[in-house]
């Protein structure tokens, strides 16, 4: 079991798959991280910053995609998800394309930079991490523990 964090504006005891109007790195889902500091940064965007803590127990019967490194496959997956293309994974784990990295991805899509240039720029970013729970089944892997109001 592992402790994971979700930065928000409120306590979330019963997480839900978020169907946002903006596309995310790994598609629609409930996003968490193993990095408490990253959850803090997510939360600090709100007037009432809150960090929710959950216990995560992996269920190997689910379809899980784990990008252990930022690779060409990771980059293509994010490009596809950000373009609104669906995938069939229950859980997707990997580095986050934060605002700066996403700007590099946008430049790549527009043809303003090459893939090689993208990788040169991306390698200087701080490590990030996200877990996207993309299906209702996947939410059964997490159990609410506590909340911190910042």
The 10s digit of each residue's pLDDT in 56-90 is 999 999 999 999 888 899 999 998 998 889 999 99
Q: What is the mean pLDDT of residues 36-57?
A: 94
Kindly tell me if the per-residue pLDDT of 127 is higher than 80: no
Q: What is the mean pLDDT of residues 29-46?
A: 93
Range of the domain at 66: 2-149
The pLDDT value recorded for residue 125 is 65
The model's pTM is: 0.87
Cα(85)–Cα(139) distance, rounded to whole angstroms?
Answer: 21
The pLDDT value recorded for residue 122 is 79
The pLDDT value recorded for residue 25 is 87
Domains held by the chain: number: 1
Q: What is the average pLDDT value for the chain, to the nearest integer?
A: 90
DSSP per residue, the chain:
-EEEEEEESS--SS---B--SS--TT-SBEEEBS-HHHHHHHHTTSSS-EEEEEEE---TTS-EEE--S--HHHHHHHHHHHTT-----SEEEE----HHHHHHHHHHHHTSS-HHHHHHHHTTSPP--EEEE-SHHHHTTEEEEEEEE-
């Amino acid at each position: 079991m592992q402790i994971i964090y979700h930065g928000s504006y409120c306590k979330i005891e019963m997480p839900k798959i978020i169907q946002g109007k903006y596309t995310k790195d790994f598609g629609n889902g409930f996003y968490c991280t193993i990095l408490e500091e990253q959850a803090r940064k997510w939360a600090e965007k709100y007037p009432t910053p809150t960090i929710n803590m959950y216990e995560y127990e992996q269920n190997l019967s689910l379809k899980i995609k784990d990008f252990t490194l930022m690779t060409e496959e990771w980059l293509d997956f994010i490009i596809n998800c950000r373009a609104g293309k669906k995938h069939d994974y229950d859980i997707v784990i990997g580095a986050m394309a934060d605002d700066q990295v996403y700007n590099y991805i946008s430049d790549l899509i527009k043809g303003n930079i090459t893939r090689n240039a993208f990788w040169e720029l991306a390698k200087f970013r701080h490590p990030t991490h996200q877990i996207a729970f993309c299906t209702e089944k996947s939410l059964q892997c997490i159990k609410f523990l506590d909340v911190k109001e910042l």
